[in-house]
Amino acid sequence: MSDSQLATLWVYLSASPLLGLTVTLVAYSAAYRLYEVAGMRPLLHPVVVAVALLIAFLQLSDIGYVDYFEGAQFVHFLLGPATVALAVPLYQQIPKLRQLWLPILAATLVGVCVGALSAVGVARLLGATLHTQLTLAPKSVTAPVAMGISEQIGGLPSLTAVLVVVTGILGAVIGGRLFALLGIRDDSVKGIAMGITAHGIGTARAFQLSTEMGAFSGLAMALSALASALLLPGLLSWLG
Amino acid sequence: MKLIYGITLLLAYQLVGEVGVRALDLPVPGPVAGMLLLFLTLVALGRVPESLSTSAGGLLSHLSLLFVPAGVGIMVHAERIGAEWLPIALALVLSTLLTMAVTAWVMLGTRRLVDRWRPDDER
C-alpha cells in the first residue's frame, strides 16, 4: 500500500463512526479482561483503564474528541434505555422496599441533599468558580440524569459526566473500607449508601460483594435519580 | 425476537418519557420519566415479561461500558481541571466519604426508630 493510499484510508477511518465505536468496545473488552485477571480490584475499574487507553490512542493518532464521539455516541446513547431498564430491578425489590420504605426514603432524601451540597460547599470554600460548583453538584447521580441536571442548573454536562464516573470509582474503591471502619455490616444499609453515593459504578461493585447489596444499591441509584431530578434544580437555584 | 421486543419496549418508554416531560414542562430527565412509567406498568402487570428482563439484564450487566465515551470527555476539559484540580479533587473525595457515611447512618437510625415503634408481632 502506497503512502497516499494509506493516507486516504486514514482520512476515511478517522472521520468514520466505525473507528470510534470499535476502539471503544476493544478498549473496554481489554480493560475488562485485565480487571478479571487482576482479581477485580476497584482501582483497575474497567472504566478507568478503558478511558486511559482511549485517551492515549486519540492523542497518539491525533483524533479529536468530537470525531471520536461520532462513533462512541452509539454506546453513549444506550445510557437512556439503560436508565429506563432500572425499572426492572426496582420492581424486583418491591418486597424489600415495602418492608424498609421509611428508612430507605429518609436515607435517599438526606443522601441526595448531602451529596450535592457537600460537593458544592467544599468546592466553594476552596475557591472554585460557580460554573465548576454547579458542574460538581450532581456528581453522585447516574450519568444520564446527572448530565440533564447539570444542563438545567447551568453546569457543564460533559464535565459532569466525567466527575460522575470519577465519583463512582471513588465510591467503589472507598466503600468497602469505609463500611468496615464505621462497623456497618448490614448489606441493605451498605447497598443503599453505595447506590446513593456511587450510582451504577458503585452498584456494579456492590453486586460483586453480595447480591443483596447489589440489589439495594440498584434500588438506591434509581430512587436517587428520581429524587435528584426533582430536588436538586430547586435546591441549587439560590447559588446561581 | 425476544431481544428485539425488549429493546423496543425500553426505547418506546424512553420516547414517551422524553415527549411527556417536554409536553408537560416537567423538571425531570426524559429517561427517568420513562423508568417511572415502566415501573408503574410492571406494578400494574404484576410480573416482568421475559423479553424485558433479557434486554434490561443485558444493558445493566455492562452499565460500566456506557460511561466510557463520556469519561473520555475528560480530555476536552483538561484546562479547567488543570486550573481547578484541587477544589474538584477534594470536593469529590470529601463529599463521597461524607455522603456514604451520612446515608448509612440515616438508614440505620431510621430503621432503629421504626423497629422501636412497631409492635412486636409485626417484626
Report the C-alpha gap between A55 and B90 in whole angstroms: 24
What is this model's ipTM? 0.86
**What pLDDT does A210 receive?**
86
Interchain pair A85, B86: CB under 8 A: no
Answer whether residue A15 shows pLDDT above 80: no
Interchain pair B7, A81: CB under 8 A: yes
Answer whether residue B120 shows pLDDT above 70: no
Answer whether residue B123 shows pLDDT above 80: no
A156 contacts B88 by C-beta, under 8 angstroms: no
Average pLDDT of chain A, as a whole number: 90
* Nearest chain A residue to B53, by CA: A88
A192 contacts A107 by C-beta, under 8 angstroms: yes
Which of B7, B11, B50, B67 should we substitute to test contact with A (largest number of A Cβ atoms within 10 Å)? B67
SS3 of chain A: the string is CCHHHHHHHHHHHHHCHHHHHHHHHHHHHHHHHHHHHCCCCHHHCHHHHHHHHHHHHHHHHCCCHHHHHHHHHHHHHCHHHHHHHCHHHHHHCHHHHHHCHHHHHHHHHHHHHHHHHHHHHHHHHCCCCHHHHHHHCCCCCCHHHHHHHHHHHCCCHHHHHHHHHHHHHHHHHHHHHHHHHHCCCCHHHHHHHHHHHHHHHHHHHHHHHCHHHHHHHHHHHHHHHHHHHHHHHHHHCCCC
Report the C-alpha gap between A32 and A41 in whole angstroms: 11
| Mean pLDDT computed over A177-198 | 95
A137 contacts B97 by C-beta, under 8 angstroms: no
A197 contacts B99 by C-beta, under 8 angstroms: yes
Interchain pair B87, A83: CB under 8 A: no
Look up residue B13 and give its three cell numbers.
418508554
Reported as a single tens digit per residue, the pLDDT across B86-116 is 999 999 999 999 999 999 999 999 999 988 8
Report the C-alpha gap between A220 and A61 in whole angstroms: 41
Of the pLDDT bands very low, low, confident and very high (cuts 50, 70, 90), residue A240 is: low
Higher pLDDT, A27 or B35: A27
What residues of A are in contact with residue B102 (Cβ under 8 Å)? Answer: 110-111, 114
Answer whether residue A152 shows pLDDT above 60: yes
**What pLDDT does B106 receive?**
97
Reported as a single tens digit per residue, the pLDDT across A47-60 is 889 999 999 999 99
Report the C-alpha gap between A145 and A232 in whole angstroms: 11
Reported as a single tens digit per residue, the pLDDT across A69-94 is 999 999 999 988 988 998 888 888 88
Interchain pair B100, A197: CB under 8 A: yes
Report the C-alpha gap between A179 and B9 in whole angstroms: 38
* Nearest chain B residue to A126, by CA: B87
Say what percent of chain A tops pLDDT 70: 99
* Nearest chain A residue to B106, by CA: A107
Interchain pair A229, B27: CB under 8 A: yes
Point out the residue among A127, A140, A201 whose CB comes nearest to the CB of B99.
A140
